[in-house]
Structure 1
Amino acid sequence: MEKFDAIVIGSGQGGNPLARKMAENGWKTALIEQRQMGGTCINDGCTPTKTMIASARVAYLVAHSEDWGINNQGYTIDMAAVMGRKEEVVLQFRNNTTRALQKAGVSIIYGSAAFSGIKTINVALHDGDIMELTAPNIFINTGAAPFIPDIPGLRDVPYLTSTTLLDMHAAPPELIIMGGSYIALEMAQLYRRLGSNVTIIERSPRLMSKEDPDVAAVLKNMMEAEDIQVITSADIEKVMIVDGHLHVEVKTGSTSLTITGSHILVATGRQPQTATLQAEKTNVTLDAKGYIQVDEQLETSCPGIYALGDVKPGPAFTHISYNDHLLIYKNLFEKAELTVRTRQLPYCMFTDPQLGRIGLSESQARLEGYPIKVARIGMDRVARAIETGETQGFMKAIVHEHTGQILGVSIIGTAGGEIMSILQMAMLGGITATQIRDMIFAHPLYAESLNNLFMSLEK
């Protein structure tokens, strides 16, 4: 059995920098990865999708160039080139990650890890051998995988996930998407712009059911404006293949529908990758859904074993996983005593335009009894948006009525995530709505309309 100071299971956006920093601080560190270096973000998530979304946006702009006074003589989409560009960027990021870990002296082990006892691990190597490891400090960063619901017939058809869809070198002619949240909406718009006919089927009464109703309404309008069919309050009762085509039987209220298509994408959530870890052998507790239970400092029920990223409960975002590693690293090496309790939780959905979100939604703030005022301005009143011809969406901020502190932000619009980030820093720094209202911003940035956003509180 080989002994290490630290073992990281999973090469995600938390595990990689943590492994590197521990090795640079003199800890003998092993990193176990069963697939490809970089985890979901680099290989199946953020990097490939945002690279392809950039190509799809160019296609959209070319198709609508006459709106800007540019007469276009026609265009074609070269999916091989789109995919080639995506794969080149993924490989670049993956190789950069590998080189940084190797330079730091991390022992990279490719195989599947399972606990064999208290802080002991067996790794089934790709060459068929078994390697045994142990360490006083172990960090689980195995992430999550697409959740496949138990719908009659679904497992009998060649369904797609957010992973396998990105491996297709042709846009599906008719793409049916199960789900109406982040992944579903990004993929719907992306593949519609690359030539697919797209239908979204969502079980809840509205898309993005955790967002405010006005946010959900704009997102639905965005989808439908690009000829994406949206069906909400819909229960999928059966999936089958008839004469070579997918048939999805849907019930909405008292109405039954049959949706046909060439491909179906399952985007109904994700589940933690803990099934093969045998966590019980090292006294690590899982919840009913398989997520690893952690305390406020991300330590599990077995002292010295921590969980980072999507394998634990909470927001499943890459930047949260990265922040997890910072928290653990600073607590271990700098005695910082950080916790997850007070950290900010921003996120951005990369539809076009974007949705940037942080803090309390309007619905949450009212439910929790905060005395609030709501600042709101349509993007059609933002000078920069009017000039660029992209006026979909709005800016909204939730402001404490008595202190002027910003409690939450929703920005749907071009550069929505960037605008949200400005207000995120204001929230962290305690800058009030009044201060931002009177602040000087360069003209004519999108950010300049934060003046007008907070002026709306005076009306």
Structure 2
Amino acid sequence: MAEQTFDLVVVGGGPGGYVAAIRAAQLGMKAALVERDQLGGICLNWGCIPTKALLRSADIMDTLHHLKDFGLEADNIRFDTAAVVKRSRQVANQLSRGVAHLLKKNKVTVIEGTARLAGQGTLAVELKAGGQSQVKAKYIILATGARARQLPGLEADGKLIWTYREALVPQVMPKSLLVVGSGAIGIEFASFYRSMGVDVTVVEALPRVLPVEDEEISAFAHKQFEKRGIKIRAGVALKALEKGTDSVTASIEVDGKAEKIQVDRVIMAVGIVGNVENLGLETTKVKVDRTHIVVDQYCRTDEPGIYAIGDIVGAPWLAHKASHEGVMCVEKIAGLEHVHTLDVTKIPGCTYCTPQVASVGLTEKAAKDAGYEVKVGRFPFIGNGKAIALGEPEGMVKTIFDAKSGELLGAHMVGAEVTELIQGYVIARTMEATEEDLFNTIFPHPTLSEMMHESALDAYGRAIHF
């Protein structure tokens, strides 16, 4: 068995793992990364990136159907499912190759195989090419990610009942679709398939769609989804899925009444579970809680020298959170001073549906429940010149301030390009900005970002254009 020794080894090459390995190399460590499948992980290969490529095709399709609104005309508008999927896969593959280049550039050793803890500071790796290798390091970072949750009796089969993987590569476009779960993954797929002409129904067990978002934003988005023709059923219990030859019949319960919905395909989007199996954790002091590894504020486990980052350590399950954790724990390992811990209230959340939804910080309800006296500002897209010029007048920006200190507690948006706009508020949260800072910031005209200014002004009765 070949043996290699490093300062630090990362297990898993997703957005947390590869970033951690690169940062370790930048800080002078001899770093290695073990990956069993594709560099870039689920996010890059089967999540964030390919879905955005599909949604871009959907956005163009939506625009083509409204060309007359812009004084333009086109005939025989259609799409090629295989070509749409092919482009999505090409985008993912290009970026995966880019990650390989970055790791090589930073002199990170990439080991293709499956790793398992095998004693203090030791990993046993089953090599993809065959054989085994023993890898030793003072520090090991587990970044093995997560997979789709399967509900007992409602398991995906990859043919009629899909997870995100099958939903990303449809061979033909179904005529009808049931999406189970209205979080970011479910709503993004619902949005894509609806834009491609599919009859889409979304069922959600909780009382409202996008349940982690501010209630007002969730309600606004709900109405916009229905305007687009997506059928929304919230507060629904899914009881069974009966598979036919080429269809699925879902049995649901609403307010105690039984109903059935027949569709061509079902997408299960009911959360994820951490990939904690077969890592050798049972031989360590690492604690696992409901499929997620327990860590402290610097991502340290209870086993000396072993860290864990990303989806494997729990919510929020976001690529940018994983990357941030990777950098943070590596800098802590390297002994850098003033390494900031992760504040989840400063992590932005984005859903790339139509209309887009983005947020950071506390919702209005959460702020009030935490004891804050709040000032709330709102500004509608219809009051913004750029939004009207773009043909995107439906949307809203909402800001929540501490009435006593002026601190920006939270910001919530729904509408065109809000996933790009939210970063302005994220910086404001990170810099501990107050309402005065936002008042005194000059926003360019004409831009969608002006609504961010107006929403802050509105919280204090000072909005100009509304």
Q: Secondary structure at the match of 1:136?
A: strand
CA distance in 2, matches of 1:254, 1:298: 44
Cα deviation, residue 104, structure 1:
2.6
Q: Secondary structure at the match of 1:71?
A: coil
CA distance in 1, matches of 2:28, 2:19: 14
Q: Secondary structure at the match of 1:235?
A: strand
Instruction: Report the equivalent of 2:324.
Output: 323
Q: 1:153 to 1:406 in 2, by over 3 A?
A: closer
Instruction: Report the equivalent of 2:432.
Output: 430
Q: Secondary structure at the match of 2:164?
A: coil
1:236 to 235, 238, 251: 238
User: Does the alignment pair 1:262 with 2:264?
Assistant: yes
CA distance in 2, matches of 1:405, 1:106: 42
TM-score of the pair, normalised by structure 1: 0.94
1:229-308 matched pairs, under 5 angstroms: 229-287=231-289, 289-308=290-309
Q: Does the Cα contact within 8 Å between 1:175 and 1:199 map onto a contact in 2?
A: yes
Q: 1:250 to 1:399 in 2, by over 3 A?
A: same
CA distance in 1, matches of 2:158, 2:81: 28
**AA of the residue aligned to 1:313:** G
Q: Secondary structure at the match of 1:316?
A: coil
**AA of the residue aligned to 1:329:** V
CA distance in 2, matches of 1:108, 1:163: 25
Cα deviation, residue 25, structure 1:
4.4
Cα deviation, residue 205, structure 1:
1.0
Instruction: Report the equivalent of 1:335.
Output: 336
User: Does the alignment pair 1:199 with 2:201?
Assistant: yes
Structure 1 residues 218-253: Cα deviation after superposition (integer angstroms, max 9, x where no partner): 121122111111111111111112353211111111
User: Does the alignment pair 1:420 with 2:422?
Assistant: yes
Instruction: Report the equivalent of 2:367.
Output: 365
Instruction: Report the equivalent of 2:59.
Output: 57
Q: Secondary structure at the match of 2:182?
A: coil
Q: Does the Cα contact within 8 Å between 1:438 and 1:451 map onto a contact in 2?
A: no
Tell me which moved more, 145-154 or 304-313: 145-154
Instruction: Report the equivalent of 1:404.
Output: 406
Instruction: Report the equivalent of 2:161.
Output: 159
Q: 1:225 to 1:24 in 2, by over 3 A?
A: same
**AA of the residue aligned to 2:270:** T
CA distance in 2, matches of 1:273, 1:172: 31
1:11 to 5, 13, 16: 13
Identity %: 28
Cα deviation, residue 128, structure 1:
4.0
TM-score of the pair, normalised by structure 2: 0.93
Cα deviation, residue 126, structure 1:
2.5
Q: 1:425 to 1:156 in 2, by over 3 A?
A: closer
Structure 1 residues 167-201: Cα deviation after superposition (integer angstroms, max 9, x where no partner): 22332322211101100001100111123221111
Tell me which moved more, 144-153 or 50-59: 144-153
Q: Does the Cα contact within 8 Å between 2:399 and 2:459 map onto a contact in 1?
A: no
CA distance in 1, matches of 2:44, 2:180: 24
CA distance in 1, matches of 2:127, 2:330: 28
Cα deviation, residue 437, structure 1:
3.1
Instruction: Report the equivalent of 1:34.
Output: 36
**AA of the residue aligned to 1:427:** R
Instruction: Report the equivalent of 2:380.
Output: 378
Q: Does the Cα contact within 8 Å between 1:434 and 1:454 map onto a contact in 2?
A: no
1:200-215 matched pairs, under 5 angstroms: 200-215=202-217
Q: Secondary structure at the match of 1:113?
A: strand
Q: Secondary structure at the match of 1:102?
A: helix
Q: 1:27 to 1:404 in 2, by over 3 A?
A: closer
CA distance in 2, matches of 1:380, 1:4: 57
1:182 to 184, 191, 195: 184
Q: 1:138 to 1:441 in 2, by over 3 A?
A: same
**AA of the residue aligned to 2:82:** A
CA RMSD between the two structures: 1.9
CA distance in 2, matches of 1:367, 1:456: 22
Cα deviation, residue 433, structure 1:
1.9
Structure 1 residues 124-147: Cα deviation after superposition (integer angstroms, max 9, x where no partner): 222442322222110101011100
CA distance in 2, matches of 1:261, 1:227: 16
Q: Does the Cα contact within 8 Å between 1:235 and 1:250 map onto a contact in 2?
A: yes
**AA of the residue aligned to 2:170:** M
Q: Does the Cα contact within 8 Å between 2:226 and 2:232 map onto a contact in 1?
A: yes
Q: Secondary structure at the match of 1:380?
A: helix
Instruction: Report the equivalent of 2:4.
Output: 2
Q: Secondary structure at the match of 2:61?
A: helix
CA distance in 1, matches of 2:291, 2:340: 23
Q: Does the Cα contact within 8 Å between 2:156 and 2:162 map onto a contact in 1?
A: no
Cα deviation, residue 153, structure 1:
7.0
Q: Does the Cα contact within 8 Å between 2:55 and 2:192 map onto a contact in 1?
A: yes
Cα deviation, residue 405, structure 1:
1.8
Cα deviation, residue 448, structure 1:
1.7
Q: Secondary structure at the match of 2:96?
A: helix
Gapped runs of 5+ residues in structure 2?
462-466
Gapped runs of 5+ residues in structure 1?
none
Tell me which moved more, 18-27 or 219-228: 18-27
Number of equivalences: 458
Cα deviation, residue 286, structure 1:
1.0
Q: Does the Cα contact within 8 Å between 1:157 and 1:241 map onto a contact in 2?
A: no
Cα deviation, residue 313, structure 1:
2.0
Q: Secondary structure at the match of 1:164?
A: helix
Q: Does the Cα contact within 8 Å between 1:119 and 1:282 map onto a contact in 2?
A: no
CA distance in 2, matches of 1:167, 1:129: 33
